[in-house]
Each structure stands twice: as C-alpha cells, then as structure tokens.
C-alpha cells in the first residue's frame, strides 16, 4: 500500500472509500477532513527508501518469515555454505533478545547484523534502515532479512525487500496457511522445511499445505527441503539464482534508462 499514488484505492473499493468531497462541513461547525492515507504510510515510505538503496547497488533482499523454530537460521547456514564462493551474502537477524543467530551466521563467514527488538513482535522498515547502514551494500549480491519468528505481525510491515519467503516446517501442521492467511497470502515462495521428518510424521501432507496456499489465490511455488540433511536444497538455490539474475537484469535496465535526478536520496 502507498499513500502517494492511491494504489490502495481500487475500482472495487472506490465507492466505499470516497464519501463526499475532500473538505465537507458538518452541521455543528466541525470540519471533516478526508485523508485516505494508508495507516502505515510512514513505514511504507521508509521501505521504499530502503528498496531504492538496495536497487542502486543491485542487491536482492529476501524477507524470511515463519513461526519460531521452523528452521530459518538452519536454512541460512546451509544456503550460505552452498553459495558463499559464488555470491556475496549478508544477513540481518531479527529477534527479541540475544545475538545467538547472528553468531551462527558469522560462523559461516558472512556479515550479520543483529536487531534485538525488545518486546516488538516484528521488524519494521526503520529498524532495517538502521541495520543497512552497518553493511557495505556495494560489496553484496544477496541480503537475507530473518524476521522475528511470528506468523502474524511481520506480514503487515514492508521492509523494502524484494521477495517474501515463508517457511512452514513439517512439525507445525499442513493447515497453517488456512490459519494464518495474511502471512501465507504474502509468500512469493513457500518452503516446507524439515522434510526429512515426513517419513515419521503421519499428519503432514505437503499436497494439503499447497492446497491451503492455493485457496488464498497464491500461485507461489512450493518446495520441500531439509537444511540439516541437505535434501531438496538444489531447487531452492536455483530459485535464488533465478531471482538474482532477474535483479541484475533490472539493474542493467535501471542504469541504461535516462537518469532521473533527485529520485534517489
């Protein structure tokens, strides 16, 4: 959503949203001012600014979201081990407390910035902006933002990233997309993690998880993998390489386009 271009006003909701003129006076001398701004427009502006920074340097930013313990950090460890000779990677870690996850990432030999949110249940664009200032974007190809483990709040905040990757571990239940529709509707890729446990779990059907995702009108690919056992990583790495190639192509076009002065701060 965005408060400058009116993209959150569609032909479908226009008649509901537009009530009278911009300034209409009520009978008792009070003034009703029509606003029609997204409530999170301040966050969205910061997110757009973050995305400009990333695009300027051709960095692909991926927002990783899941419940706590679905395997985000384990996925990152396996991904970095597979790609660190090929791509320049950094990670922004969001947790309520501790540097533990950042230390696990640093042990893989890539920079990690830990954001400790205190009691905040999600990352927002301002926190990510502060973290970006601790990274040299010119030296990066791929930035992972590991959001706070939570299937509710992180879905509402644009961070300035390019793609949402949502993890659903096989121990959680295949109906999670039906229970948390706002989160799973936002997924650009759904990863079914801990797939090595499928052999011993009789209550998780990958096809059911995919069915619940399609019920949200989401066409995102669904991949199964086990980061610990190294199973199914190839398809995930191939997806990442395709996204990075697309980002590089977009950057070439961006550079070839006539210069728009004053757009990037």
Partner 1 sequence: MHELSVCQALLAQVEQVARDNQAQHVDKIVLRIGPLAGVEPRLLQDAFPIARVGTVAADAELVIETLPLTVRCQGCGAETAAQPNRLICGACGDWHTQLISGDELLLASVELTKA
Q: How far is the CB of 186 from partner 1 (least distance, A)?
A: 9
| Two tokens, residue 212 | 């619940």
Work out whether 261 is an interface residue with partner 1 (CB under 8 A): no
Question: By rule CB under 8 A, what string of x and - marks binding of each residue 134-173 to partner 1?
Answer: ------------------xx-xxx----------------
Work out whether 117 is an interface residue with partner 1 (CB under 8 A): no
Query: Residues 51, 53, 122, 162: which binds partner 1 (CB under 8 A)?
Result: 122
| Two tokens, residue 96 | 């309520």
User: What is the chain's alpha carbon radius of gyration, rounded to the nearest angstrom?
Assistant: 21
Q: What span, in angstroms and rounded, lies between the C-alpha atoms of 112 and 73?
A: 12
Span near partner 1 by CB under 8 A; candidates 46-54, 93-101, 120-128, 190-198: 120-128
CA distances from 215 to 16, 59, 263 (A): 26, 32, 39
Work out whether 182 is an interface residue with partner 1 (CB under 8 A): yes
Query: Residues 21, 27, 33, 261: which binds partner 1 (CB under 8 A)?
Result: 33
Show Cβ contacts of residue 94 under 8 Å, excluding neighbours closer than 6 positions. 115, 117, 122, 123, 127, 145, 146, 147, 148
| CB closer to partner 1 out of 71 and 177 | 177
Q: What span, in angstroms and rounded, lies between the C-alpha atoms of 115 and 68?
A: 16
Size of residue set near partner 1 by CB under 8 A = 46
Work out whether 32 is an interface residue with partner 1 (CB under 8 A): yes
Q: What span, in angstroms and rounded, lies between the C-alpha atoms of 161 and 48?
A: 9
Query: Residues 4, 52, 109, 214: which binds partner 1 (CB under 8 A)?
Result: 214
Q: For CA atoms 61, 66, 69, 70, give the dihedral sign.
A: negative
Place of tokens 């590991």: 146
Span near partner 1 by CB under 8 A; candidates 49-57, 60-68, 117-125, 223-231: 117-125
Q: What span, in angstroms and rounded, lies between the C-alpha atoms of 183 and 19?
A: 31
Question: Which residues in this chain contact partner 1 in the complex, by CB under 8 A?
Answer: 1, 8, 10-13, 16-17, 19, 26, 29-43, 120-122, 124, 152-153, 155-157, 177-179, 181-182, 185, 212, 214-217, 219
């Amino acid at each position: 959503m965005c408060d400058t271009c009116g993209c959150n006003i569609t032909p479908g909701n226009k008649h509901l949203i537009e009530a009278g003129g911009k300034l209409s006076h009520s009978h008792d001398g009070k003034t009703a001012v029509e606003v029609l701004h997204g409530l999170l427009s301040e966050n969205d502006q910061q997110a757009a600014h973050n995305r400009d920074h990333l695009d300027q340097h051709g960095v692909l930013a991926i927002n990783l979201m899941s419940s706590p313990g679905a395997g985000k950090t384990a996925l990152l460890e396996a991904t970095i081990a597979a790609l660190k000779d090929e791509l320049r990677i950094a990670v922004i870690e969001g947790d309520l407390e501790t540097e533990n996850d950042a230390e696990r990432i640093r042990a893989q030999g890539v920079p990690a910035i830990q954001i400790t949110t205190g009691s905040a249940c999600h990352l927002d664009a301002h926190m990510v902006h502060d973290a970006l200032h601790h990274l040299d974007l010119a030296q990066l190809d791929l930035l992972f933002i590991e959001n706070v483990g939570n299937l509710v709040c992180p879905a509402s905040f644009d961070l300035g990233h390019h793609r949402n990757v949502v993890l659903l571990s096989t121990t959680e239940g295949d109906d999670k997309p039906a229970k948390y529709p706002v989160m799973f509707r936002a997924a650009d890729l759904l990863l079914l993690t801990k797939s090595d446990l499928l052999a011993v779990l009789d209550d998780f059907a990958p096809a059911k998880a995919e069915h619940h995702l399609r019920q949200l009108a989401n066409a995102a690919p669904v991949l199964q993998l086990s980061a610990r056992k190294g199973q199914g990583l190839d398809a995930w790495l191939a997806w990442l390489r395709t996204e990075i190639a697309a980002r590089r192509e977009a950057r070439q076009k961006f550079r070839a386009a006539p210069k728009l002065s004053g757009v990037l701060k």
